[in-house]
Amino acid sequence: MEITTSHYVVLSTLLLVIGSVGILTRRNILVLLMSVELILNAVNINLVAFSAAHQQVEGQVFAIFVITVAAAEAAVGLGILIALFRNKHTVHADEIDLLRW
């Protein structure tokens, strides 16, 4: 069985749906960050799959940029999460109200 571009699109769609459901239903900030990572990985799969299908390298270059941004987002997000946990002693997004008036 040959793996085609449509297989990658289906996998990417599943990751996108799982990430979107995670963002919409969960309140734990760590789970929200992991859901964003799933969505970014879905984008990366599409970029690399279509790049390979069209014999172009630009999609793979963009995927490396997305991976770099995702690593920075994870580092900053975890730093913010640790700071919030030290101040509020919770990681639930509903209970954090530092920016309210």
- pLDDT for the residue numbered 87: 86
Across 47-65, average pLDDT: 95
What φ, ψ does residue 62 adopt, rounded to 5°? -65, -35
Q: Reply yes or no on whether the pLDDT at 85 is more than 80.
A: yes
Q: For 11-35, what is each residue's pLDDT tens digit? A: 999 999 999 999 999 989 999 999 9
33 sits in which H/E element: helix 29-53
What φ, ψ does residue 28 adopt, rounded to 5°? -75, 125
5-95 CATH = 1.10.287.3510
pTM: 0.88
Report whether 81 contacts 98 (CB < 8 A). Answer: no
What φ, ψ does residue 92 adopt, rounded to 5°? -90, 130
Across 61-76, average pLDDT: 95
Q: Give the integer Cα–Cα distance in Å for 79 and 62.
A: 26
Domain boundaries, the chain: 5-95
